[in-house]
Copies of this chain bind each other. A is one copy, B any other.
Amino acid sequence: MAKKASGGQQREKALSREQIIKAAIELLDSSGESGLTFRVLSERLATGAGAIYWHIANKNDLLTAACDAIIANAVELTATGDTPEEVIRALALGVFDAMDEHPWVGSTFTLSPGQSPVLRIVERIGQQVRVLGVPEDAQWATASALIAFILGVGGQNAANRQLARAKGFTRSDFLETVAAAWSQLDPEEYSFARSIAEPLRTHDDRADFLAGIEIILRGIRAK
């Protein structure tokens, strides 16, 4: 890590917005959402807390930019396929995997509705919905359904991960805990939750996510 120039001098090389965002992502990946503070971040960047504000409006802006960097990358890499349905599948999985790799992303979409990261997904999905031949007046609702599902899964997964991290749990610890709790619910009132507790223990999030996408695609086709 670079040493600070002594005696309150300025740093040799100017900070950049990109540099700050990169450091923020590293911090978020390694310590979670609560690990990102301006104090820790400025220490990492060998600067003062206030310096960051020259490049970044506020914490919200920083989190949005970090989220956007991840999503831009994921969307760019995965938006391919021979049919619109394949593209949607690839896109959705790309976003899912990005959220899986960077668990904080799923809870960050919510900070910037209508802004870059969500907009990128809206655009890509919307284009494919159009190609699918969905009538114009149903395109928004259709794209919305896919997007709400994708972001909904992301939000819940992010929450699970954060909770697990806070308690020092692994993913399977977490599932065990939920399964154990659900299997002891009242059999009359919570028959479904009870019946699902056991399979939940070993289920595959990614496969369930894909199954959800298939249901929605089928619903669009069946119109």
Contact = CB atoms under 8 A, between A and B. Distances in A.
A198 B25 CA distance: 35
A68 B214 CA distance: 31
A153 interface: yes
A49 interface: no
* A interface: dominant SS: helix
B145 A211 contact: yes
B149 A193 contact: no
A39 interface: no
Interface centre among A123, A145, A178, A223 (most CB of B within 10 A): A145
Contacts of A193: 119, 122-123, 126
A155 B113 CA distance: 10
Given A119-B182, A149-B148, A192-B130, A215 B212 contact: no
Interface stretch (A16-24, A81-89, A135-143): A135-143
